[in-house]
Amino acid sequence: MTKVWFITGSSRGLGRSLTEAVLKNGDKVAATARNTRQLDQFVAQFPDQVYPIQLDVTNKEQIYAAVDNAIRRFGRIDVLVNNAGFGITGAAEAFTDEQVRSQLETNLYAPIEITRAVLPHMRKQRSGHILQISSIGGRVGGAGLTMYQAAKFGLGGFTESLSKEIAPLGIKVTCVEPGGFRTDWAGSSMSFAPEIEGYETTIGGVKKFFTSDAYVPIGDPDKAAKVMVELVEHPEPPLHLILGSEAVGILQRASASRQAELEKWMPVSISTDHNDAENFFESTAGKAYLNLKGV
């Protein structure tokens, strides 16, 4: 069956690769971008399949209008892809107020609000798949990316909780977590905080790495797009999907480190239980609570 996709940030990077892959697969796309003229190539090649929509994802009124227009044009939304976003590098204390707000508004608040706008339609359909384009930076933190990664960690938490709410409605959700891909994420779309003294060996090193020829991402956005097109056809898609061997390696190392830390500090962790407390996982109340949470 032909699917209808709603993709944010369709004009550049991974969003453009995905939009093209979806159209070539024969599906329809409500393709959003700040500048819809950048979608003219798709309109010329796939006039009956693509519907360009001008959208600033930080504008709530535009979000709901865009979703309504897509529904009016195609009748439904089967796949939502929250892809629009950008990165920023710098020391946590150095970011301007505007830089902090723009990161959270674009990379966290926007995908949450767009999801909320689309969910009523998917709920009525009792079907749909939401792809939240996060990052390995939403699972493992690194110096220089505090604001970007705060947003992506938040998106991951929102997605995990949401998955428990919408599963009975026939709606699936996947947090897609790429490593470095050959888009303009670390190039023209990357911005930087003002430099301040004291961070030369940490933030300075990260900035130098991103802005030098040394940083050559290994991920192929066209291959990632192919994976996502196939993903929405899978009967049991993952809640988290890591993309790229770099991201896999980073997560494996971080998971091992976290497990070692948990075990080292386990006596301290459990020492805070009340003296008369039952084993939570074996108690009737505990089992009921964990079942409700889907844990």
- Give the catalytic positions in this structure: 134, 148, 152
E strand or H helix that includes residue 207: helix 203-210
Q: In what order do the strands lie in the sheet with 240-243?
A: 50-54, 28-33, 4-7, 79-82, 128-133, 171-178, 240-243
Structure tokens at 223: 């291959």
Residue 274 CA to residue 277 CA, distance in Å, equals 5
Cα distances (angstroms) measured from residue 191 to each of 30, 59, 166, 170, 274: 28, 21, 36, 39, 48
Residue 259 CA to residue 187 CA, distance in Å, equals 35
φ and ψ of 122, to 5 deg:
-65, -35
Q: Report CA 52 to chain centroid distance, whole Å.
A: 22
> Do the Cβ atoms of 245 and 136 come closer than 8 Å?
no
